[in-house]
Structure 1
């Protein structure tokens, strides 16, 4: 790879990096456009962990995921963001996600530089590529009727990225990698740590990369897409001296609660439960409800206000094995966030009542459990898109303000998302950015 000059070089193989790669290969085919993609990790799993027979049970998967040999418990060093764990591997954190893929609703785009109408065709493409569908069962239909009649008419089935053609195989970024390999040509390097973005002050020129033996390599590129995560992307940009007041700031996620309970056998039906109560303009939280037989579990996420004072920054007092400064996180909930959390507690009890469910403590947690910040892996906003360089890191196409050819394509691009899982949106935005880059190639020709 060091001998080549890339038209596009992608850093990171999570949902954003691989969605952009897939779209480039789908549109360009086996053309002369030179594409490369690198990841600091190596092969951990060949698929989503829940597709692996020995890990298909959720508890087994979580034991594997929580092992410090598999994921890095960075939150142990971040008291304000203690739930954070990072996955450094081919496929990133989509190796361990549950496949929930709702769209961000149109009203949430009021403070975005693009409209819902602009992203809608890319939602369609992402949903098709990720095989998003919904699971129906008699149990789901029974509980939906109770929710509709109980004051939650927006309730529906959970949209999930699962191939249900007899296998129920969960999607991961490795699916995008495989499809890209089938459709086009690209070079891939694993165990390749990007340590610096190189520019001439106006445009990107390449990336300095180090291998595990600490040998440096220069990869030249006309276009670079950074898709490391909401933490690693600003870390790389800041340590590379990329200018931008908003880089690292406006960190958002969700407030997150879990609860569980039981139903009487006569109040149940056949099948599994996979239900969704979405946020609305007047409801700043959402429910994901799952379970089997008489046991149900609530995952409840609440909206967090994007604020400049919630941020990721470099910590020069700590460096990694490659000499890159570690990052630290400044994060807190404000009064508005706490008010939403109070609403969530009341809603949990109300929804349980509507569903004829008796809330019960679990063996390892109380009846309603508030998870620590960062535990849900839905971090975003730290390289947010916008029209004003004073309050955003990139423009409407994901390009860093003032640096031609340098793009961002991960969760950090999202300026706001309410309580929604951002994975589908990140994939859609990455596909949109790839289309923009392709148009630039065609304009030059």
Structure 2
């Protein structure tokens, strides 16, 4: 899947995360005659390319894959604990790296722990796999208006391999859900009651869990497509714009330092919500909304010991990935009346270290997390320098980000709510919940947001095509225009499906 750069392709995709992989998959299914190339700045760290590192059984190999994902200055470290709970240090989770500078402007809140990954598969090699559907004001009205949103979400679930039964054998899952439901379900409709978290994970015939990464999104049809190529360690430094239209990319081979132009009929930038607008800026594509409406989700965490734990002979299972399957992952859906997205996870499924499990009663401690929807502001933005550069030689970023009075009110309410839910499940390990440093969610959105019309408040159409630049598409969580609290990957992939279908139709109507 790697090789020298071609002179020309039909579609050039920048970024190999779930959104970029979704474009490659849909085009392989709908436009099998089209040549498609994916360019990823980071290396291949798993086999198959883009797989989740949780599927790597050997801890040393898993740690190596995480280290190699940690950007232009990746290096081995004795501290592989990661996480940032209950510390003021700027620490990144394993597999990610922090912004070196520009993460906070004096007098503003900033995003002190804003982080990224550089590897084939992007953040999907390191994520929790949570794939809840958006609800109420999280939903995208323009797609609801034409009736397409739910079908696109269903297609995203297919590509990501979403299931709800992976942890059904967990001995404490039903107990956790029953107690949460008693505390929370009153007044909720069926779809928003406490339930199993939809997860991008499936169980193999041998009983072990397999977490989805971009490898699952690519699928066999993409890997078998002779017209598809994946180039790792390939930095796209510029989108070529000729006569107002995207015409290809300039790509630098990170191994040799050599650059090449790859011509393309369509260019899709699916880097992430920080690096996608960065590449557009570097390419001279600078609409008013570029980088604006930056949306992080304030994250509140709390740990409890399950009360009155039943006697069980369960041994935990999941040996291949080291997971002890005791309580699985439970979902408390967002509603406008309760503007939080809640997930309750067994400790070793959590991306951050909330506590040490109890060796005397393994699986008895669970972590609760509430994500808060942001009060969206155009002034929350990432800016790019025309002078300074980052570790890749791309325009340096500066984050402008403030919590509003409404944000502070929601966070205060969330702290009360998570304690209430935690006490319904068990005994708190601490008296107070912890608000994670801003940026910890890794759920950045809005910086290339879609809109119904080009009125200066959006970057692209509902299909992801950048306004006034035919042939140029943006993809990923940055395209989401709403204030969400739920994990955004499913929605980001759904929007990528919409864009990929748009390109497939254009290719069919105007074959070369």
TM-score (norm 2): 0.80
Q: Distance in 2 between matches of 1:58 and 1:263?
A: 30
Q: Which runs of 5+ in 1 are unaligned?
A: none
Q: Which residue of 2 aligns with 1:246?
A: 289
Of 353, 358, 365 in structure 1, the residue corresponding to residue 427 of structure 2 is 358
Q: Which residue of 2 aligns with 1:209?
A: 251
Q: Distance in 1 between matches of 2:94 and 2:311?
A: 41
Question: How many residue pairs get matched?
Answer: 438
Name the structure where helix makes up a greater proportion of residues.
1
Contact 2:159 2:216 in 1 (8 A): no
Q: In the TM superposition, what is the alpha-carbon distance from 1:185 to its structure 2 partner?
A: 2.4
For the structure 1 residues 258 and 205, does the alpha-carbon distance in structure 2 shift closer, same or farther, using more than 3 Å as the test? same
Q: Distance in 1 between matches of 2:81 and 2:240?
A: 37
Q: In the TM superposition, what is the alpha-carbon distance from 1:150 to its structure 2 partner?
A: 2.3
Deviation per CA, 1:45-100, whole angstroms, max 9, x where unpaired?
33212111134999997927677995322166513211122211111111100110
Q: Which residue of 1 aligns with 2:36?
A: 35
Instruction: Between 153-162 and 169-178, report the one with greater CA deviation.
Output: 169-178
Please state if 1:72 is matched with 2:97: yes
Contact 1:14 1:91 in 2 (8 A): yes
For the structure 1 residues 419 and 55, does the alpha-carbon distance in structure 2 shift closer, same or farther, using more than 3 Å as the test? farther
Please state if 1:229 is matched with 2:290: no
Q: In the TM superposition, what is the alpha-carbon distance from 1:138 to its structure 2 partner?
A: 4.7
Of 432, 436, 460 in structure 2, the residue corresponding to residue 371 of structure 1 is 436
Q: In the TM superposition, what is the alpha-carbon distance from 1:249 to its structure 2 partner?
A: 0.4
For the structure 1 residues 67 and 253, does the alpha-carbon distance in structure 2 shift closer, same or farther, using more than 3 Å as the test? closer
SS in 2 for 1:251: coil
Q: Which residue of 1 aligns with 2:123?
A: 93
Q: In the TM superposition, what is the alpha-carbon distance from 1:27 to its structure 2 partner?
A: 1.9
For the structure 1 residues 76 and 264, does the alpha-carbon distance in structure 2 shift closer, same or farther, using more than 3 Å as the test? farther
Contact 1:263 1:294 in 2 (8 A): yes
For the structure 1 residues 124 and 394, does the alpha-carbon distance in structure 2 shift closer, same or farther, using more than 3 Å as the test? same
Please state if 1:406 is matched with 2:475: no
Of 445, 449, 465 in structure 2, the residue corresponding to residue 384 of structure 1 is 449
Q: Distance in 1 between matches of 2:276 and 2:470?
A: 17
For the structure 1 residues 144 and 152, does the alpha-carbon distance in structure 2 shift closer, same or farther, using more than 3 Å as the test? same
Q: Distance in 1 between matches of 2:102 and 2:272?
A: 18
What are the residue-to-residue correspondences of 1:42-81 with 2, within 5 Å? Answer: 42-46=43-47, 47-55=51-59, 63=80, 71-74=96-99, 77-79=102-104, 80-81=110-111
Instruction: Between 125-134 and 404-413, report the one with greater CA deviation.
Output: 125-134
Contact 2:309 2:364 in 1 (8 A): no
Contact 2:140 2:149 in 1 (8 A): no
Q: Which residue of 2 aligns with 1:327?
A: 397
Q: Distance in 2 between matches of 1:318 and 1:68?
A: 26
TM-score (norm 1): 0.91
Query: What is the Cα-based RMSD across aligned positions, in Å?
Result: 2.6
Q: Distance in 1 between matches of 2:231 and 2:181?
A: 50
For the structure 1 residues 438 and 311, does the alpha-carbon distance in structure 2 shift closer, same or farther, using more than 3 Å as the test? same
Q: Which residue of 2 aligns with 1:192?
A: 234
Contact 2:102 2:397 in 1 (8 A): no
Q: In the TM superposition, what is the alpha-carbon distance from 1:141 to its structure 2 partner?
A: 2.0
For the structure 1 residues 246 and 139, does the alpha-carbon distance in structure 2 shift closer, same or farther, using more than 3 Å as the test? same
Q: Distance in 2 between matches of 1:345 and 1:268?
A: 32
Q: Which residue of 1 aligns with 2:157?
A: 127
Q: Which residue of 2 aligns with 1:261?
A: 304
Q: Which residue of 1 aligns with 2:174?
A: 141
For the structure 1 residues 76 and 68, does the alpha-carbon distance in structure 2 shift closer, same or farther, using more than 3 Å as the test? farther
Q: Distance in 2 between matches of 1:411 and 1:159?
A: 18
Contact 2:251 2:262 in 1 (8 A): yes
Q: Which residue of 2 aligns with 1:105?
A: 135
Contact 1:84 1:375 in 2 (8 A): yes
Q: In the TM superposition, what is the alpha-carbon distance from 1:140 to its structure 2 partner?
A: 2.2
Q: In the TM superposition, what is the alpha-carbon distance from 1:129 to its structure 2 partner?
A: 2.5
Q: Distance in 2 between matches of 1:244 and 1:268?
A: 60
Q: Which residue of 2 aligns with 1:175?
A: 216
Q: In the TM superposition, what is the alpha-carbon distance from 1:146 to its structure 2 partner?
A: 2.4
Please state if 1:117 is matched with 2:138: no
